[in-house]
Amino acid sequence: MERENPDRQQAQPTREELLAEVNALRQQVARLETATAQALSQQHPHPLPPPTNTILESISDGFVSLDRQWRYTYVNSQAEYLLGKPKAELLGNNAWDIFPELVGTRGHTLIQQAMAEQKAIAYEEFYLTFNKWISVRLYPSPQGMSIYFLDITEQKQAEEQIQRYADIVKSTQLGLAVWQLQDLDNPDSLQLLLANPASNQILGTDFEALVGSTIAESFPSLAGSNLVREYAEVIKTGQTKDIDEVHYDDERISGVFSIKAFPLPNHCVGVAFESITQRRQMEKALQAAMQRLVFHVENTPLGVVEWDCQYRVSRWSSQAEAIFGWTAEEVLGKRPDDWNFVYPADRPQVHQAIAQLLCGQNQRNRLETRNFTKSGAVIHCEWYTSALFNEQGNFESALCLVLDVTERKQADANLQAANQRTLDILESMTEGFSAFDDQWRYTYLNLRGETILGVKRDEIIGRSIWDVFPDTVSLSFYNEFNRAMHDQVAVHLEEHYRPLNIWLDCHAYPLDGGGICVYFQDITSRKRMENTLQTSRERLELVLGASELGIWFCDLPFDHLEWSNTCKEHFGLPLDLEVTIEQFYQCLHPDDRETTQQAIEQSILNHNSFDTIYRVITPDQQVRWIRAIGSAFYDEKGKPIRFDGVTVDVTRQQQQDEERLRLYKAERVARELAESANRVKDEFLAVLSHELRSPLNPILGWSRLLRSRQLDKATTDRALETIERNAKLQTQLIEDLLDISRILQGKLSLSIGPVHLIPVIESAIETVRLAAEAKSIQIQTVFDPQVGRVAGDPTRLQQIVWNLVSNAVKFTSAGDSVTVRLDIQPDEKCPTADLAAAPHPGYAQITVTDTGKGIHRDFLPYVFDYFRQADSTITRRFGGLGLGLAIVRYLVELHGGTVQADSPGEGLGATFTVKLPLLNQTSYSLEETPSTAQVAAVQPLRGTCVLVVDDEPDMREFATFVLQQAGATVMTATSAHDALQLLVNHTPDLLLSDIGMPMMDGYTLMRQIRKLPIAQGGNIPAIALTAYAGEYNQRQALSAGFQQHLPKPIEPDTLIMAIAQLIRTT
């Protein structure tokens, strides 16, 4: 902990030591006074000689000299500080001009007297100007006067406080002791300064003999204890501590004590204590009382006001400022009548209380007054005043604790009004109400209680209930009321009191401080009604016994429910369960709780019958549908008292209704789908008929004209050209139909190999160029030469581009343009800079954009569907079967790519985008490999051992033949398990494995191999040869540990070159 001042480590001096030190200093200064006075009388008003000047500047007293005109001729530095003014402002100026407020004071009179009588005078005075107590010594001379003065404010305050505490210590009945901490870092250095006589009586020891000893010497058992540390903590923090229970035991003292430690000046702590050993039986009540007391004390804002011997304010705490609004500077030195402080009507009692304090008639008093705040508001205050008298019995000061009780006063008024309202309510109640003290004496009985019991309250107040109604002693009233009082619990009972022949419903509640209160009412009529209802219920039970109806009864407001066994079975509840309204709502389906509760409340409120269906969830999580029918019953005043009804399990009926609804909806959806499919089919057949018949008409027509041989050469050429063009159109239509047939049967095959896309796209464009030129449509191309190869079938890729460009030309108006673009689209998971070396270097993106008729937004999701056209009516402008884009989508996906269409809207053109995965360089770096003829000639796989794993015999034989022709030695395995067995004794140079195999697929095989030691083939180069040709499959193969992924079917030369390339690179 950081230390503020090394001197603080030393213990503070005692009061006697402080006074001795002050006297010593005074004697030291006094020796200088005579010489100084002589020097002043001889040399005044000339400057003091240097030695005297040095001495006067070094003393701790303030020193000034005045001439006969009361002008300052010398002022030392301490005087500057105490007077609060610089030398330049004082020297040469009249003291009474500078401090006119001192004229007429006691100090002014004594100074005049000393000058007139030419004799030294010493006095002590509180100067309001400086807000200090000053000790003054006057030394007059014919030339003027020398004045020594010292600030003794702290000394005065300490003396007054110590005196007050000493008086309290001597007078209190509690044990009180004052300890002073000699060493702040050593709690055991607490030294006993004083103790009151009660301390000796409580502890049975002579405290006077212990004065001056440390706590470790006086009470060895406390040395190093938490209690001593807490005393030291009170001194350091300045905060009071309550130590409720301290156990102490040594040879002299043994017992349990309650201690309160509070801070005092000069590193002292006051300890108030009492023995609680004999009060164990009162511990609970005392603890509760102390807790309430501590709570109220800690939460009650108390202001502190101190008055001097002339009853002027000498201390004004911050809480006093908070209560009244005036600051300490504004009120210090004022008497109660000096400012608008006391309410005029209360001033006489304030003057009387002050007079009694001043004359010693009362040393303590409590006074309640009204006071003004600074803002002019009137508040109510309680003043707790303690007077301090000196040894001569003269009044010296008074300490007041003031509490603002304005709110309490208002609360008292409110409470009184509330009590009156409570009495008014009790008197107007329709129930009887009575209260009893702890001796069972009546303390209150309301008017309705008089009527029910047939007594007069004036005659029974103060009498015991058992005396007034002796017959109740033998009834439940006696036992239950006693239980309420003694066990402090609320009780409820219904009892028939024969002497009055009435049924009473009683609720008894214990009261704080003893006694009970009882609410009671005459329920004789209700009991008769219940008996009638019970009879009706029994008859009803006979009827319901043979039915599946559940019955329920409910007392309002839902404090008692009765369910029949059938009703409980509907909810899946045990038959012996006492059902509550909360359990009922908990059993309901969450979606039905609120609506059911509202239906019940509305039925009761509106006097309507209750008829609703809700779902319940049984404890075994079954859902049942229950229909509830009921009604509320009301008393003669229209107050609802019961809510009864029946339940029916309608689960089967509800399920049948839901099943019928489900079947109806399913039938309607199926019908709509069938109608839609038939409509699409009819539209397609109509279009197919139109598209197939349209080319036949010119073919047949020109054929007949040609057979007539009456046409000239030009007409004949035109006829043949027309026949050829329509025949090609017919062929294309048939090819589309065949492709669709192959697609639907899964028989469309690809001849996969590395393909450059630029030649493919250019060939497709050439195919449709004549059609574009016929409409004066310009086909613009933008190709990125850096686009690599893709794995694909060149013919099918050309078919994709031809379909898209042909569509664009068909739907573009004459004179417009079509743009074909090829560029690279990077893979989001692969940085662009690493495309060449990445496992998946990105995509080749083909974009075909036209400025034609565009596509409606509503049709965009269906543009790639089979047999779908945006315009399938007989008035459409453009021909076709609606198959081209469906074929495009299938072919693109077969190549592991994607295709999408976009259009801003009709008349705004359209854009079709195809993305195909690019091959990395190791997959197609065939430029560096020998040609097919060279491969066959030199047998590039000579000396290479290849393990072929495939469950298909034809594929194994094909791969074995191709590899052996290339010079390789081939081992084969029919399953992944066989391959692992072969690797135990053989280490081939390369693994060629299928992926889709039974029991264990190629991915798992590869992962198992990569776990093997290198000597057993754990690092063997591997190629996946599989019909799973998608991009995802390629990534999965590379992730499993394959170096390459080759899709089936594959050309022999491509397979050989891939193996040779991989062998060289590894």
pLDDT tens, residue by residue, 146-181 = 999 988 888 777 677 766 766 665 666 788 888 899
Q: What is the DSSP letter of 94?
A: B
- Residue 348 clears pLDDT 70, i.e. is over it: yes
- Residue 211 clears pLDDT 80, i.e. is over it: yes
808/887 same-domain check: yes
- Residue 10 clears pLDDT 60, i.e. is over it: no
What pLDDT digit, counting tens, does each position of 129-147 carry? Answer: 888 899 999 999 999 999 9
Type of residue numbered 483 = R
What angle do helix axes 1002-1010 and 1031-1040 make, rounded to 10 degrees? 20
- Identify the burial level of 474 via C-beta atoms within 10 angstroms of its C-beta, where 0-12 means exposed, 13-18 middle and 19 or more buried: exposed
Give the strand pairing for 432-436 and 442-445: antiparallel
pLDDT at 721: 75
Band of pLDDT at residue 532, cut at 50, 70 and 90: confident
Query: How many angstroms separate the CA atoms of 323 and 316, rounded?
Result: 11
Considering its fold, how many domains does the chain have in total?
7
pLDDT at 699: 74
Beta partners for 628?
612, 647
Beta partners for 145?
66, 140
Query: How many angstroms separate the CA atoms of 868 and 550, rounded?
Result: 61
- Domain-located, residue 23: yes
406/325 same-domain check: yes
- Residue 928 clears pLDDT 50, i.e. is over it: no
74/175 same-domain check: no
pLDDT at 43: 39
What pLDDT digit, counting tens, does each position of 556-581 carry? Answer: 877 788 888 888 888 999 988 888 88
- Domain-located, residue 423: no
Q: What is the CATH number of the domain that holds 618?
A: 3.30.450.20
- Residue 836 clears pLDDT 50, i.e. is over it: no
Mean pLDDT score of the chain: 81
The verdict on pTM exceeding 0.75 is no
- Domain-located, residue 991: yes
pLDDT at 758: 92
761/901 same-domain check: yes
- Residue 293 clears pLDDT 80, i.e. is over it: no
pLDDT at 931: 40
What pLDDT digit, counting tens, does each position of 670-685 carry? Answer: 887 777 667 666 656 6
Q: How many residues does the chain have?
A: 1066
Mean pLDDT within 458-486: 90
- Domain-located, residue 382: yes
User: What is the four-CA torsion angle of 656, 657, 659, 661, rounded to 10 degrees?
Assistant: 160
- Residue 289 clears pLDDT 60, i.e. is over it: no
766/911 same-domain check: yes
Give every CB contact of residue 801 below 8 A, 6+ residues apart in sequence: 760, 761, 764, 765, 820, 846, 848
More confident residue, 801 or 930: 801
- Domain-located, residue 352: yes
Percent of all residues in the chain with a pLDDT value above 70, rounded to a whole number: 81
- Residue 1042 clears pLDDT 90, i.e. is over it: yes
Domain end residue (candidates: 252, 285, 318): 285
841/952 same-domain check: no
- Residue 916 clears pLDDT 70, i.e. is over it: yes
Band of pLDDT at residue 35, cut at 50, 70 and 90: very low
CB-CB neighbours of 787 under 10 Å: 21
Q: What is the DSSP letter of 47?
A: P
788/910 same-domain check: yes
762/895 same-domain check: yes
Beta partners for 849?
819, 911
- Residue 632 clears pLDDT 70, i.e. is over it: yes
pLDDT at 934: 41
More confident residue, 983 or 36: 983
- Domain-located, residue 723: no
Query: How many angstroms separate the CA atoms of 1017 and 1010, rounded?
Result: 8
Instruction: Report, in angstroms and rounded to the nearest whole number, the Rg of the chain calculated over CA atoms.
Output: 57
864/949 same-domain check: no
C-alpha distances in Å from residue 831, one per residue of 156, 276, 839, 898, 999: 87, 84, 12, 21, 38
**What's the token pair of residue 251?**
């040879």
Type of residue numbered 767 = T
pLDDT at 222: 84
Mean pLDDT within 890-910: 88
- Domain-located, residue 659: no
Which residue range(s) make up the domain with 569? 531-649
Mean pLDDT within 1026-1049: 81
What pLDDT digit, counting tens, does each position of 49-84 carry? Answer: 555 567 778 787 899 999 999 999 999 988 898 888
Top-confidence range, 13-17, 651-655, 826-830? 651-655
Q: What is the CATH number of the domain that holds 970?
A: 3.40.50.2300
95/16 same-domain check: yes
More confident residue, 859 or 537: 859
pLDDT at 922: 52
Domain end residue (candidates: 471, 487, 522): 522
- Residue 281 clears pLDDT 60, i.e. is over it: no
pLDDT at 953: 86
848/973 same-domain check: no
More confident residue, 1047 or 987: 987
- Domain-located, residue 738: no
1013/984 same-domain check: yes
Mean pLDDT within 459-470: 91
- Residue 902 clears pLDDT 80, i.e. is over it: yes
Query: How many angstroms separate the CA atoms of 403 and 409, rounded?
Result: 12
pLDDT at 725: 64
Percent of all residues in the chain with a pLDDT value above 90, rounded to a whole number: 27
Query: How many angstroms separate the CA atoms of 801 and 888, rounded?
Result: 8
Task: Name the phi and psi angles at 726, rounded to 5.
Answer: -70, -30
What pLDDT digit, counting tens, does each position of 854-888 carry? Answer: 888 888 888 887 665 544 443 344 444 457 788 88
Domain end residue (candidates: 492, 522, 552): 522
pLDDT at 257: 83
Query: How many angstroms separate the CA atoms of 899 and 915, rounded?
Result: 6
